[in-house]
Amino acid sequence: MRIKRNLITGGAGFLGSHLTDRLMEAGEEVICLDNYFTGIKSNVEKWIGHPSFELIRHDVTEPIRLEVDRIWHLACPASPVHYQFNPIKTAKTSFLGTYNMLGLARRVGARLLLASTSEVYGDPEIHPQPESYRGCVNTIGVRSCYDEGKRIAETLCFDYKRMHETEIRVMRIFNTYGPRMLPDDGRVVSNFIVQALRGEPLTLYGDGEQTRSFCYVDDLINGMIRLMNCDQTGPINIGNPTEFTIRQLAELVREKINPNLQFIEKPLPQDDPMQRKPVINLANSVLGWQPKIALENGLDPTIEWFKSELEKSK
């Protein structure tokens, strides 16, 4: 059986590098594409020089010609701090990047998996969120570049499927955490851990009663690989349905690192969703997937990762 050749866009990023590890360990070939806006070369450094691994510095908003069997399209800044830094570039990455990757998939007959997001649901009016929910998104807000960008990326995928019979898989990723997150990405898990390790008060936005569901990265990658390998197009929610308030997360991080830390409250950012929890019945029935790693267990290796990163920066 021929070894599969995989292209991972955003392959040096948080999720992309974990996916790279899994595919390389499985004996497959990996071409890692990244422009290093949020990706870091050290995330995939151990594979550099391996005969089955290739690293290419490239921006997906520009076309590229490669021969591959599968395209894992993960390229796009996913944290508010990074995608709001240059919102026009974020929108271009979602639209042009997906357009270019779908064009490549069509030319070479590859299957493409789009890493979409729970942000397509916006600030949801129904809870929890099933795949059938069409969302409540502000088209002109500060988060729109990402939320609407991913929505049009999904649209492109399904139009390529209908017009050109391109093989697509669409995965809606809910909050994911784990080693290799960036310390400055502005996401709530990394914010709390970094603040706690530095002995700073933990910042709650609003009253901290807004909810999120946190999926450990190993579980997420398992779901991603199962979706790529199955016959289901999607969209499919992949996330942990166990719901926590932001305050509960802060208390858990504080307990693990420094129980004496204080909380401070700041105003809630514009369009920040009040609730986020996936319905994963489809992932469970079609993929046989459900998360296995509880938040309290996944936080330990994540905290150790941030400890080592902060030590390096001293």
Residue 297 domain flag: no
How far apart are the C-alpha atoms of 76 and 90, rounded to whole Å?
7
Q: Is 172 a member of any domain?
A: yes
Whole domain around residue 36: which residue ranges? 5-177+216-241+277-292
Residue 210 maps to a domain? no
Q: Is the pLDDT of residue 243 over 70?
A: yes
In a domain, 254, yes or no: no
Q: What is the mean pLDDT of residues 231-246?
A: 96
> Taking residues 231-248, what's their average pLDDT?
96
Q: Which candidate, 77, 136, 104, places its Cα nearest to that of 6? A: 104
Residue 303 is assigned to a structural domain of this protein:
no
Q: Which candidate, 51, 67, 36, 113, places its Cα nearest to that of 287?
A: 113
Looking at the predicted structure, is the pLDDT value of residue 271 above 80? no
Catalytic residues: 146
Buried residues in 28-45 as b, exposed as e (16+ CB within 10 A): bbbbbbbbebbbeeebbe
pLDDT tens readout for residues 100-135: 999 999 999 999 999 999 999 998 899 999 999 999
> What are residue 133's phi and psi, to 5 degrees?
-75, 130
SS (H, E, C) 152-171: HHHHHHHHHHHHHCCCEEEE
Question: Would you say residue 38 lies in a domain?
Answer: yes
Question: pLDDT band at 78, cuts 50/70/90?
Answer: confident
Residue 76 has pLDDT above 90, yes or no: yes
Say what the pTM is: 0.95
Instruction: Tell me how many domains the chain contains.
Output: 1
**Can you name the residues that pair with 9 across neighbouring β-strands?**
33, 73
Considering the domain boundaries, does residue 202 fall inside one?
no
The answer to the question of residue 155 being in a domain is yes
Q: Domain containing 71 — which CATH number?
A: 3.40.50.720
